[in-house]
Chains A and B, each alone.
Chain A
Amino acid sequence: MTLQWGYKRAFMRCGCLVVVGAVLQMAFGDFDNKFLRYPWGLIFAINYLYLLLLVYVQSAKWKWLQQLYDGYAMVSSLTSMMVLTIIFGFTRQDPATQGLVGALGFSRMTSSWIFNLMLLYFVSSLGVCVMRDVHHWRKVRLAALMSHVVVFVALCAAMFGSADKERVMVDLQLDRMTYMGQTAAGEERELPFGLTLREFQMDEYPAKLYILDAQTEESSQEFLSAEHVGAEAVVDGWRLRVKQSIDMAARMPESDVFREIHHVGAAPAVMVEAVSEATGERYEGWVSCGSHIFEPAFLWLGERYVVAMPRREAKRYLSRIEIMDGNGELWREDVEVNKPARVGSWRIYQVGYNTQLGRWSTSSVVECVRDGWWSVVQVALWMLLASGVVMFLTAQGKRLAPKKKEEKR
């Protein structure tokens, strides 16, 4: 296959961007987007749009400008972005990486000059294309136009708004108000509101019983889910059956029996019967995962195998927090995974808790996030969703084959 001159020229342009990006990377280090912080991001974005409009308007006069958004430019910039994204996918993102990969910034791809320059070129080509499509509006290209517009808007918002994203991790302790958090870089950051953890709640899945090999320390793949009394399953040749189950239990000192208690540290306990399918050997006893207060309990099946219960998995957990804003106004919110709370332009996300204490945790980790450009991105994403539907509905009968020369603009 011989490449047409249009492609050669377009790919050479991409090659030049890679070389320029590599030189800038080596000369100045990582691309720092701090200069885009509000209001500069917005100012740059408006000027950028004006510049693209100027390029499109002037391209009627100066034909060479059309090379920035013709079919060759789109194919070359798309190919370059795809190749860089593949390199991104194959490269472990680790700032400490040395060698050529580290020097070119591929191990910190989002901060690499090459990636950012190529993204700018891609978005610029797309932007001028959008202006051309809007100018020469045709109903048959509705789906393509919609996709172009919303991808352009989303990428512009992501680029120019990248410096305005703030993520602050806050470690909340029960009944203790805090205004301070930590950024990913480890810097202290004061929040414009105070947070107090009033309650931490957790629902857990039923306990699971596994068989461990004490010699190899390997656990069975199969398990018995102790959902109710009478539940049974065959695990590694042993038929396990739940005879009694207590959700919150503890073993009394110098006793083998578990009793129900409602006390901090209470753990699930299951009275289990194990019968060997092969030999008919039978064992019975209590099994518990224990807690930060009470010891776990195991049921030995002879000398090698043992029935054990790992800590129960969390089904859902939430933090009941009290928020005090700058005006001294106080209110309560529940923060749960997938259900963040909102305070002005901030959103508060449930991130973690003290896993050692589990349901008895007295602390909760939340993340406060602010993204001033989210509303723009959100509109673009919903429109992209709509354009996906339009593209699906209009997929039939579209002609994608190359146009005849006279049809080309």
Chain B
Amino acid sequence: MSWQQLWIFAIAAIICWVAGAAVALRSRRVGVASALSVAGSLIFFSYIVGMWIALERPPMRTMGETRLWYSFFLSVAGIAVYLRWRYRWILSFSTMMSVVFICINLFKPEIHSKSLMPALQSPWFVPHVIVYMFAYAMMGAVTLFAIYLWWRSSRKEPSAEEMGVCDNLVRIGWSFLTLGMVMGALWAKQAWGDYWTWDPKETWAAATWLGYLLYLHLRQQTKDYNVLFALLIFDFIMLQMCWYGINYLPSAQGASVHVY
């Protein structure tokens, strides 16, 4: 398995996801929509597993490899939300976002080597990245949902149930952000001798973590959904900065061990 085969798996997965999203939008056949979407996710996951075997290391080292996980977890998050709350549009949104990240990988192919620097050879590597990517996917899903609720054509105010979905997604995402951060801290202590060094990646991870924590606290204080939705979008922008923005940030150049 190599990067050259991505388009085959990507097209097959996208066809399944789009079909699942279309069924969800146009009919009430939840089983068919879910089965199609799950099939798409399984196809995409089989490519990730194939890369893992071929590279003889977890495909989590480069930015392109983390995008693979992000696309996969977005589809998983979409299916989970659809099955739990039956939002018919969520599969379309998660598919759209997964496709965007797959396209970035298709149009900006990376050359992969089997090399894995010694610092990354740790039992924390796989859970740390997977947990973070899942958190990012949950936060991606809640951002899309917030944008939908804020700017939908009906201009209807969000219901308590709709805000409840936002809260649950943020709580799940934030708990995974916490898990990722703690795993990173325990790993850093093992690898570098300190659990927190304010490396630019860590700084932005802390800012993102505080941002979503602010949402969880502000939610108990205010009903002004304009503030809450604006905060969710702002937090997601910070999350992008933490994920790949620091690669382009002048203040992080040469100062981060996380630039990859």
The residues of A with any CB-CB pair to B shorter than 8 Å are: 1, 71-72, 74-75, 78-79, 81-82, 85-86, 88-93, 109-110, 147, 158, 165, 167, 205, 208, 221-223, 225, 313-317, 336-340, 347, 349, 367, 369, 371, 374, 377-378, 381-382, 384-385, 387-389, 391-392, 395-403
Contact = CB atoms under 8 A, between A and B. Distances in A.
Q: Considering residues A72, A82, A158, which has the most beta carbons from chain B within 10 angstroms of its beta carbon?
A: A82
B58 interface: no
Interface string B176-195: 10110011011101111111
Contact of B195 (A82, A110, A381): A381
A397 B118 CA distance: 43
A387 B255 CA distance: 32
Contacts of B219: 400-402
B145 to A, nearest CB: 15
A401 B182 contact: no
B160 interface: yes
Contacts of A378: 186, 189
Given A75-B218, A78-B214, A381-B182, A92 B171 contact: no
B113 A225 contact: yes
A91 B113 CA distance: 34
A interface secondary structure, majority: mixed
Interface residues of B, number: 63
Contacts of A401: 160, 163, 219-220, 223
Given A85-B203, A340-B193, 20 more contacts: A71-B221, A82-B207, A82-B210, A85-B207, A88-B207, A167-B193, A222-B111, A223-B113, A225-B113, A314-B118, A317-B118, A338-B190, A367-B193, A371-B193, A381-B185, A388-B178, A398-B168, A400-B219, A401-B163, A402-B222
B259 interface: no
B251 A369 contact: no
Q: Considering residues B111, B178, B211, B223, which has the most beta carbons from chain A within 10 angstroms of its beta carbon?
A: B178
Contact of B198 (A88, A223, A377): A88
Interface of B: 111, 113-119, 121-122, 160, 163-164, 167-168, 171-172, 174-176, 178-179, 182-183, 185-187, 189-196, 198, 200, 203-204, 206-207, 210-211, 213-214, 216-224, 226-227, 238, 241, 246, 249-251, 255
20 contacts: A71-B220, A78-B214, A78-B217, A85-B207, A88-B207, A90-B251, A91-B251, A92-B251, A109-B198, A167-B193, A371-B193, A371-B194, A374-B195, A385-B178, A395-B171, A398-B171, A400-B219, A400-B220, A401-B223, A402-B219
Contacts of A313: 115, 117
Given A349-B192, A371-B194, A389 B211 contact: no
A314 B186 CA distance: 24
Contacts of A223: 111, 113
Nearest to B201: A89
A398 B193 contact: no
Nearest to B118: A337
Contacts of B200: 89
A381 B168 contact: no
A147 B220 contact: no
B111 A338 contact: no
B194 A147 contact: no
Contact of B196 (A81, A158, A225, A399): A158
A347 B178 contact: no
Nearest to B168: A395
A271 B170 CA distance: 57
